[in-house]
């Protein structure tokens, strides 16, 4: 997948963000009702403004300016109709 965002703060210091995200996601299931989900994304954040401000944190969605990657692995398990457990690892 590919995603492009162009954000502009129209108040204050007029910060801008151009974000490009490219990645892949996958799902794997077995006959024993075991599911494994994963996602890998690469971000290129071009941000103008103070990267340590609250506005930057909001616009960058918790990421930092520059080139970054994100990985997520999820292991959901349904034990019965009521109880479900989901383990998620992120970096």
The neighbour count for residue 33, using CB atoms within 10 Å, is 10
Does 51 or 83 have the greater pLDDT score?
51
Question: Which candidate, 19, 33, 25, places its Cα nearest to that of 63?
Answer: 19
Look at the block and give the residue holding tokens 């103070």: 50
pLDDT at 18 over 90: yes
Supply the pTM of this predicted model: 0.75
**48-67 confidence digits (pLDDT tens):** 999 999 999 999 999 999 99
Cα pseudo-dihedral 79, 72, 63, 22, rounded to 10: -130
As beta bridge partners, residue 87 has: 75
**20-52 confidence digits (pLDDT tens):** 999 999 998 887 777 888 999 999 999 999 999
Q: Cα separation of 85 and 20, whole Å?
A: 33
Q: What's CA 80's distance to the chain center, in Å? A: 30
Confidence of residue 91 (pLDDT cuts 50, 70, 90): low
pLDDT at 5 over 70: yes
């Amino acid at each position: 997948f590919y995603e492009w965002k162009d954000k502009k703060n129209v108040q204050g210091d007029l910060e801008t963000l151009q974000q490009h995200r490219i990645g892949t996601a996958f799902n794997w299931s077995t006959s024993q009702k075991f599911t494994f989900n994963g996602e890998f994304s690469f971000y290129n954040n071009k941000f103008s403004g103070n990267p340590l401000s609250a506005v930057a944190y909001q616009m960058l969605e918790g990421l930092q300016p520059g080139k970054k990657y994100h990985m997520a692995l999820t292991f959901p398990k349904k034990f019965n109709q009521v109880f479900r457990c989901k383990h998620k690892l992120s970096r």
